[in-house]
Amino acid sequence: MTSVKLRWKIAIGVAVLAIAGLGYAGNYFYDYAVVPSEKDFLEGDTPGTDENQTGSEAQNWFTDAANREMWQLTSEDDLKLSAIYLPAEEKNQGKTAIIAHGYMGNAETMADYAKMYHDLGYNVLVPDARGHGQSEGDYIGFGWHERKDYLQWIDEILAKNGSEETITLYGISMGAATVMMTSGEDLPKNVTSIIEDCGYTNVNEELGYQLDQLFGLPAFPLMNVTSLVTKIRAGYFFGEADAVKQLQKNTRPIFFIHGDADTFVPYAMLDILYNATDAPKEKWVVSGAEHAKSYKTDPALYKEKIAAFLEKYDHPASE
């Protein structure tokens, strides 16, 4: 009897230590991936942005524009969110592009994309995602909580620019996931098109992939534990943040872009995303482009592709 009790105590002790170890690992990975902070695994540029734009024509324009405005709003969970707004060169064009930056980027790093849309005649709004730039927040929502923030930015555009404004959504990397997740919400008719560049299918698959790439670890059980930690500390499970499920509800024309040399968000995710929606859609595979480098690979062609898609689909719903 004593021997049986001892074995039970040992088994319970081992189980407690295992649970404690997983709990520690889950909190460690939460801090590593979900808490906004400098990330050593990014190796310089944040995904989807180019931090070394100082002195470039686009960056100088974006930083020094005399008509640049700072917009703010309060999120549903009481965070102060910030965005940069630049009106179109010609007034009363009636169209705005909302641009979403990548993981650990911010509005200031999106000068190239902002200028591209501005040159096409758009007002441009570039929000800082929660926990990034000038926006408050102590966690990254990977597009899931941000989708609700984008609904508020859409409302802000309509309140300030008028109820007939046409709105297109553009995002790159995590920003691409953000606009895809936004696509499944109840959007006003003003949102007429969406463009995503190298977004991921869902957070479980992307972080599981990164866990393998960075640490050589399988997704189970660490991803499950980290997801639970994220639910406790940030209010969502990784499984909720699913661009594929949101795209299944999407009705807006959407343009998918991905480089076939992307090893940060696997290129294989492109077709899964493309096939998820029955809305009008196009895709462009950029040969040789690494993660979020499609624009840099051929800026002129990138702009041409974007302009052609917008010319085809970005029209008021009343037309």
- CA count, 13 A, side-chain hemisphere, 313: 23
Tally DSSP H helices, then E strands, for the chain: 11, 8
What is the C-alpha to C-alpha distance for residues 107 and 129, in angstroms, rounded to an integer? Answer: 8
Q: Which of 160, 188, 190, 180 is nearest to 265 (CA)?
A: 180
275-279 long-range Cβ contacts below 8 angstroms, 24+ apart: 276/243, 276/244, 276/245, 276/247, 276/248, 277/183, 277/247, 277/248, 277/250, 279/250, 279/251, 279/252, 279/253, 279/254
Over the stretch 113-170, which tens digit does the pLDDT of each residue have? 999 999 999 999 999 999 999 999 999 999 999 999 999 999 999 999 999 999 999 9
Q: Which residue type occupies 285? A: V
Average pLDDT of the chain is: 90
In the structure, what pLDDT confidence band is assigned to residue 49 with cuts at 50, 70 and 90?
low
What is the C-alpha to C-alpha distance for residues 299 and 303, in angstroms, rounded to an integer? Answer: 6
Residue 46 has pLDDT above 80, yes or no: no
Residue-level pLDDT at 254: 98
Q: Do 279 and 254 meet the contact criterion of CB atoms below 8 Å apart? A: yes
- CA count, 13 A, side-chain hemisphere, 30: 23
Residue with tokens 């319970």: 12
Residue 45 has pLDDT above 80, yes or no: no
What is the C-alpha to C-alpha distance for residues 44 and 262, in angstroms, rounded to an integer? Answer: 16
Give 240's DSSP letter: G
Q: Is 269 helix (H, G, I), strand (E, B) or coil?
A: helix
Write down the pTM of the prediction: 0.91
Give 110's DSSP letter: G
